Amino acid sequence: MTNLMRFFKMKVIIQLFIVFCFSITDSLAQVVKLGNLDVNVNEIPLNRPLHIKDLSASEKDGIENIAVFKSDNKKYFTKAINSYEAGEGVGYDNFDEKSLLELYDIEGNLVWKKELDKFVSYCKISDDGKFCHVILSETDHMEMDVIQFLLSLDESGNKIHYEERVGQVYPNADKSIIYYLKIIDNNRYLTCKDFNTNGSWKQQVCDNCSIGAVSGRGNNVSICSSTSGIYSFNRNCELIWRDTSLIGGQASLSPEGDYLLKGFDLYNNNNGELLFSLKESIFNANRVDYIDGCFVKNGGNKIVVVGWCGSRQNRIKTISIFEINGTLIRNLSFDEKFKAFFIDCVDNGNSTFDLYLYNKFIKRIHYKE
């Protein structure tokens, strides 16, 4: 396999991530056995893959990478073995991309396995194993591009939905509702698919936009744009409100969809009214440069924000957890140099939290109440 061919194959993997763990307090490692692979549950990022190099495989075996994904509360896991095999044609088209996808429960029992004719880039798995939304990738060698496909599977691994050429895919908390962006006739559309009712809705949106967040219930979705501001839609893809001044960045929605967090600012998601700013009310005169904020998964309406606080000469990175009314619950600090593009936070249910900071790497911070 030539270095050039390896380069093109690596384009299919959207991003290779390395996990850094920083534990304010941590429990013993929890290992799940996925076939012949032992994986530390805590090393698997939330909403990102853990890529594992199979040291036993040689190039002739055709294994490109092994990716492991978990459900939000570590109940189910998928293992995707992405590989290639010689096919018809010449040159780069002589290699067919494929994947073996396996679903396991926390006990390491194999629930189902499925052979796919494309690489697996991401999986969104429900905590009851009922839904698995798979984002597949295929290399277009003529266009020098990567094409994404959406495949939704039920608890037995049967196909229940398929969509070609999609962008981001965002599910609600139990993965029964998904939102994704798709270009149709050169126009970008926001689409909602509800697997509870089998309903589907779509709405044309601006070209330069991305999905900011989906509420836990799946009844609301936010769209962020670097040029057109922020849009808030309901499940039927009907516009609730829009603010052209809120440019770029990420937004987070509360579980019920009643609140929207943008930066340090909390908004009423029913009408777009600014309720208050956490930056002004909590940090007072300290200099704070915002990184990101989100609602805590499983945490009700708790909010976590990460920012730099202090002077340029003595800057401390802070992690702050708030109630929905702006009351500070806990304030932590760490001084490692790590700037995040966006974050996720989950309440583990045992008085501990996991915070994930994402850029081209991933930092996991585990802390106790």
pLDDT tens per residue, range 86-102: 666 555 555 788 999 99
Residue that has been written with the tokens 């202090």 in this structure: 310
Confidence of residue 338 (pLDDT cuts 50, 70, 90): confident
Angle 39-9-148 from CA coordinates, rounded to 5°: 85
Q: How far, CA to CA in Å, does 162 sit from each of 98, 153, 197, 298? A: 17, 9, 17, 29
Between strands 265-268 and 273-277, the pairing is antiparallel
pLDDT of residue 366: 87
| Percent of the residues in the chain that have a pLDDT greater than 90, as a whole number | 49
Confidence of residue 360 (pLDDT cuts 50, 70, 90): confident
More confident residue, 182 or 361: 182
pLDDT, averaged across the chain: 83
Cβ atoms of 13 and 6 within 8 Å: the answer is: no
Tell me which residue of 70, 81, 67 sits closest to 30, measured CA to CA. 70
Query: Reduced to 3 states, what is the DSSP secondary structure of residue 159?
Result: strand
Q: How far, CA to CA in Å, does 100 sit from each of 113, 130, 304, 323? A: 7, 19, 37, 43
- Best mean pLDDT range from 288-292, 313-317, 340-344: 340-344
What are the residues whose beta carbons fall under 8 Å from the beta carbon of 240, sequence distance 6 or more?
220, 232, 233, 234, 269, 270, 271, 272
Tell me which residue of 99, 93, 31 sits closest to 65, measured CA to CA. 99
What CA–CA distance (Å, rounded) separates 220 from 214?
Answer: 6
Q: Lowest-pLDDT range, 81-85, 185-189, 199-203, 276-280?
A: 276-280
By CB atoms closer than 10 A (0-12, 13-18, 19+), residue 2 is: exposed
pLDDT tens digits, 297-325: 988 889 998 877 666 555 667 788 889 98
Q: Lowest-pLDDT range, 57-71, 121-135, 211-225?
A: 57-71
